[in-house]
Amino acid sequence: MLLKMRTSLSFVSLLATALVHAAYSNQTSQYTPQAMLSLPRRGTAIPNKDGTLALYTVATYSFEERQYANELRVLQLQNGTSRLFSNSSAISNANWLGDGDKIIWLESEDDGSTTFFVGDVSAPETKPTSVGSVPGPITNLKLVNISNGTLGLAFTGQVSSDGSLYNPNLATTPYTSGRTYDALLVRHWDVYLTPERNSIWYTSLSKGLNAYYTLSTPVNALKGSGLESPPSSFDIGSQGLAFVAKDPTLNQANTTKSDVYYIPLTTFQETAPKIHLISTPGLQGASNSPVFSPSGSSLAFLRMKDISYESDKNRVLVVPNVSSLNSTATEFYNSTDGNGSWDSSPSLLFYSQDGATLYAVAEDLARDKLFSFPSDPTQATDLPSTIVGQGTTLDVRHQGANKILVSVTGFFDNSVFFSIDPHVLANSNGSSGVAVASSNLNSLSAYGLSLTKISEFYYQGDGDYLIHAWIIRPSFFVEGQTYPLLFYIHGGPQSATNDEWSTQWNLGVFAEQGYIVVAFNPTGSTGFGQRFTDSVQNQWGGRPYNDLVKGWEYIEANLTYIDTDRAVAVGAGFGGYMVNWIQGQALGRVFKALFTDNGCFNTVALYSTDELWFIQHDFNGTLWNNYENYERWNPAAKTSAWNTSHLIAHNDLNYRLPIAEGLSAFNILQDKGIKSKFLNFPDEDAWVTNPENSLIWYETVLNFLNEQVGLPAYSSSEDAAYKATLMN
């Protein structure tokens, strides 16, 4: 525990010192939606083999030019300087090509095909070499060294029914738009399903004596198997390929079951690959994050136990010798009660350079932390040690022989690259071994954002447990003054408000309007133990709502700088459901305004969703056998009490919660004469990703809420991008 605390404190000190210095040394502008949406968005860092350089992408949106500027940059890890390699928007999936300064990337062509290019980062002006192409769009390129001068490559792409790579640019347009289905799923997230399926391809790239590269004919690894793999859930090692695929014999809408499969490969040119199922006795839920050890001999991955619960606990498993095709995976931290001794649910795994250590990213107390533990389950007797204890870890990579390069975000920093020596970190009890290789802090320095304006607290929930909440204050906060409250409820419900960057719900932007933002993690939130997450089942309007009532009472009694007579409540997804539920409850009368973003209005209508396992788990049964469970927490049944001003946003492409949910709520508000507004984007799903749309989203939301609590309208500010958006 002492190591865990000191490691976290070391990390916090590094980040806080840099951010506070940047904030108070150069504050010149207000942190508006335009400013936030115009910030450079960096990808994760990919180091070269010796750990001296790293590749990363940058996408910066210009509201003046109405487009993104895309860059592929090379970072000097020793001094933090970077240089431009390319500003082509066609480049993607760049990675290092073994030793030296050569890199490989994919480039999309006008006809929909994809070309593999090789270039030299030390000579960006040199014309890159085309080493091969495929006749359709592909992504998720991965590489592994399989012999001297030869690399194994794998990538994903959609395939037609005959197993060939699908190219939508060359597809024949039918004369009719009709479509029929005789099995689920019909649509998923934001698209209607089509006959095309996701598959994984592999090939080899060889370097000849003349320094030319030769790409072998790519092979569809899943052809004829009936399997479909999620686009990024696979890995390659020197001995083969591992991937995740759902069981094709089961109803895809009613089960989360997916298995890990292994394909032995030696040349990455095998034309008839044999697919082997990895056995996991007692576990039949979703699998993810397969990763090979550096030697390629061991395979680690994550799997859940429950066959129909997407937020079940991820358990860490390993196959010590994957080439022994009858091997069974062994679970880490197993316990006699079946719950496991480590009460966390990892989302990502990664091996150390020597294969002796596994790194895992897992939510813990409103952060996505990086942990480490021995890669041999028999030696993993102590609970994992914390490597990065703050922010949200996005990715981890080898940096040279001993270090790791970790990409992290936080509330007030959308990209930090940390260079970490795990051995130094452990031996110093967390006081050294961590260095900031690069940060986007300078992009935020003009806005006065400071970690000193972020705090957190715990309070007694609706039972014998504590509830966590964040507080974010504006940069101009002054002790002794009071500020209106923005009461934020996250989606899920099995999710959390973590210390992470977001463009959709950037809580710093709301705070800079003059709000005190209080963001809650009530019952059902992840990162506070599996039992706490599971307790939201059949309790949507019960325990979480009561936790929030207790939160309101805590604010009134303890946070004297909040003017609770000027409070608004907001939420998206499940948070939007909760705002609709609050509107019909006593708590709804304490708020001046409410905002529901793509939330559920009628729980009885939830069978219009895509993934039926979700509602059948959360409401503990089917609609026909357990109707009372769906009706018990139904906001639609409480509309007689609706009375508070209410903004509704709902988008056409949200097939998880179709637009009828938002329209129904707005229709009732209008019919009852309640001040209300409806915001809709026909080209967006639950997340607004187009920066132009996002700007209007913020303008509409802020103007509606600000008016009710006496804050200036955002649209009256000197935000040139917003004004330009209205004019065009």
pLDDT digits (tens, 9 = 90+) for 388-403: 999 999 999 999 999 9
Q: Per the domain annotation, does 456 fall within a domain? A: yes
Q: At 325, is the pLDDT very low, low, confident or very high (cuts 50, 70, 90)?
A: confident
**Is the backbone of residue 442 left (phi > 0), alpha (psi -120 to 50) or beta?**
alpha
The pLDDT value recorded for residue 5 is 31
If one counts the domains in the chain, the total is: 2
Q: Is 726 a residue whose pLDDT tops 70?
A: no
Q: Per the domain annotation, does 476 fall within a domain? A: yes
For residue range 250-268, what is the model confidence (pLDDT) as tens digits?
999 999 999 999 999 999 9
Both tokens of 512, joined, read: 């800079």
Which of 233, 256, 289 terminates a domain? The answer is 289
DSSP notation for 668-698: HHHHTT--EEEE--TT--SS--SHHHHHHHH
The pLDDT value recorded for residue 6 is 33
Which of 248, 269, 289 terminates a domain? The answer is 289
**What's the domain range around 637?**
450-727
Q: Is 716 a residue whose pLDDT tops 50?
A: no
**Amino acid letter for position 206:** S
For residue range 683-699, what is the model confidence (pLDDT) as tens digits?
999 999 999 999 999 99
Quote the mean pLDDT of the chain: 93
Q: Is 719 a residue whose pLDDT tops 70?
A: no
For residue range 184-196, what is the model confidence (pLDDT) as tens digits?
999 999 999 999 9
For residue range 539-576, what is the model confidence (pLDDT) as tens digits?
999 999 999 999 999 999 999 999 999 999 999 999 99
Q: Per the domain annotation, does 78 fall within a domain? A: no
* Selection from 74, 86, 72 nearest residue 48 by Cα: 74
Could you tell me if 516 and 473 are in contact, meaning their C-beta atoms sit under 8 angstroms apart? yes
Q: Per the domain annotation, does 325 fall within a domain? A: no
Poorest-pLDDT segment among 39-43, 226-230, 354-358, 428-432? 428-432
The pLDDT value recorded for residue 210 is 72
Question: Residues 286, 291, 292, CA angle at the centre, nearest 5°?
Answer: 140
Q: Per the domain annotation, does 415 fall within a domain? A: no
Buried b (16+ CB within 10 A) or exposed e, 665-678: bbebbeeeebebbb
Q: What is the distance between the alpha carbons of residues 518 and 524, in angstroms, rounded to a whole number? A: 18
The pLDDT value recorded for residue 444 is 73
The pLDDT value recorded for residue 17 is 42
Exposed/middle/buried for 622, CB within 10 Å: 0-12, 13-18, 19+? middle
Q: Per the domain annotation, does 377 fall within a domain? A: no
Q: Per the domain annotation, does 141 fall within a domain? A: yes
The pLDDT value recorded for residue 722 is 45
Q: What is the distance between the alpha carbons of residues 690 and 135, in angstroms, rounded to a whole number? A: 29
Answer yes or no: pTM beyond 0.85: yes
The pLDDT value recorded for residue 187 is 97
DSSP notation for 404-454: EEEEEEETTEEEEEEEE-HHHHHHTTTSSSEEEEEESHHHHGGGT--GGGE
Residues 515-538, mean pLDDT to the nearest whole number: 99
**Amino acid letter for position 677:** K
3-state secondary structure of 533: helix
The pLDDT value recorded for residue 720 is 54
CATH code (residue 575): 3.40.50.1820
The pLDDT value recorded for residue 25 is 42
Q: Per the domain annotation, does 619 fall within a domain? A: yes
Poorest-pLDDT segment among 60-69, 305-314, 321-330, 607-616? 321-330
Poorest-pLDDT segment among 120-124, 242-246, 569-573? 120-124
Q: At 721, is the pLDDT very low, low, confident or very high (cuts 50, 70, 90)?
A: low
Q: At 148, is the pLDDT very low, low, confident or very high (cuts 50, 70, 90)?
A: confident
Exposed/middle/buried for 374, CB within 10 Å: 0-12, 13-18, 19+? middle
Residues 44-67, mean pLDDT to the nearest whole number: 98
Start-to-end CA span in the chain (Å): 57
In the numeric block, the tokens 């899920």 are attached to: 492
Which of 253, 274, 289 terminates a domain? The answer is 289
Quote the DSSP letter at residue 289: E
